[in-house]
Amino acid sequence: MSNFTTILPDTSAYWSAYDQVSALNIHLNFFEKLWAAWYQYMDNDTLATGIMSFVMHELVYFGRSLPWVIIDAIPYFRKYKIQNTKIPTAAEQWRCTKLVLFSHFTVELPQIWLFHPMCKYFGMETGVPFPSWVTMAYQIAIFFVLEDAWHYWLHRAFHWGPLYKHIHKIHHTYSAPFGLAAEYASPIEVMTLGFGTVGIPILWCWITGDLHVLTMYLWIVFRLFQAIDAHSGYEFPWSLHHFIPFWAGAQHHDVHHEKFIGNYASSFRWWDYFLDTEAGPEAAKARRERRLAKEAAKARKVQ
Ligand SMILES: [Zn+2]
Ligand SMILES: [Zn+2]
């Protein structure tokens, strides 16, 4: 056998594991059989979960960023670009990709080996069958709301002078962001804000005793989509916030990168709205009008 064939994974062994799982578990659906066969084939749950987590993150992160790289290269889309004079160059995008990859391989990869033992310690389910769609959907909705709150406060704290200067400034390298820049940040920031994405579901599992790692994966996929799209720099007539008014989206986060102040939340607009930290000239105008109305009301009372 040549060296080349020996370094390739043995796919026939995987499919024979799949056949075994299928024969013994006819009640499982196709995806559950694929999942169970993967664990049987790996014969090491820590590696099975670890590799799956890392590969999923890379595929989703770069897979979701690629359409935005292509859109940046097509002049037709310029009319939808929020800061349309600032198109990221190929060199900028490549530089950003290198730093993100470097951080994935040095900071994230070693931690991924702890993921399966941690899941087990907190009682997370990793086997088959999968939970129902309803269970996954309501848990993911809760994670969205909780992560957004965590993100709002921690991100707002990162804009405090010393923390901004030493940690968060790296993420603000690009005043006109693009998809690949979503995770362009200091490792301290990635871990702190990342707690909202990874730590909150783990805490949830610890308290309720009810979470499957697949739900966690799906949640992370949605959260990656949210973060990359929020950094895309594009606002379309069909962007999600036109249909769900409290959804933040690119329009919300782009202003944050442009102005450096306000719009601290990740997925939703409610924290910035109720705590009066919305960014941009429209928000400033609305704030001024509210202040003037308050002053006028006070003056009327005095008279
Ligand atoms: Zn910021
Ligand atoms: Zn950002």
Find the 200 Cα to ligand 1 centroid distance in Å: 21
Helices (H), the chain: 3-7, 11-24, 30-42, 45-73, 90-103, 109-112, 115-121, 133-158, 161-166, 187-194, 200-208, 213-230, 249-259, 270-274, 281-302
- The pLDDT of residue 283: 81
- The pLDDT of residue 1: 46
Q: Are 254 and 177 in contact (CB under 8 A)?
A: yes
Local mean pLDDT, 10-residue blocks, the chain (303 residues): 60 93 94 96 94 96 97 95 92 95 92 90 95 98 98 98 97 96 95 95 97 98 97 96 96 94 96 93 82 86 77
Find the 57 Cα to ligand 1 centroid distance in Å: 23
Find the 191 Cα to ligand 2 centroid distance in Å: 15
Find the 260 Cα to ligand 1 centroid distance in Å: 6
Q: Give the integer Cα–Cα distance in Å for 239 and 244.
A: 9
Name residue, tokens 């043995």: 10
Find the 176 Cα to ligand 1 centroid distance in Å: 12
Find the 38 Cα to ligand 2 centroid distance in Å: 35
Find the 169 Cα to ligand 2 centroid distance in Å: 10
Q: Which ligand has the shortest distance to the CA of 177?
A: 2
Task: Tokens for 180, please give them.
Answer: 């690949």
Find the 9 Cα to ligand 2 centroid distance in Å: 37
Find the 154 Cα to ligand 1 centroid distance in Å: 10
- The pLDDT of residue 48: 95
Find the 143 Cα to ligand 2 centroid distance in Å: 20
Q: Which ligand has the shortest distance to the CA of 230?
A: 2
Find the 265 Cα to ligand 2 centroid distance in Å: 10
- The pLDDT of residue 266: 97
Q: Give the integer Cα–Cα distance in Å for 147 and 267.
A: 8
Q: Give the integer Cα–Cα distance in Å for 269 and 102.
A: 32
Q: Are 115 and 49 in contact (CB under 8 A)?
A: yes
Find the 171 Cα to ligand 2 centroid distance in Å: 6
Find the 231 Cα to ligand 2 centroid distance in Å: 6
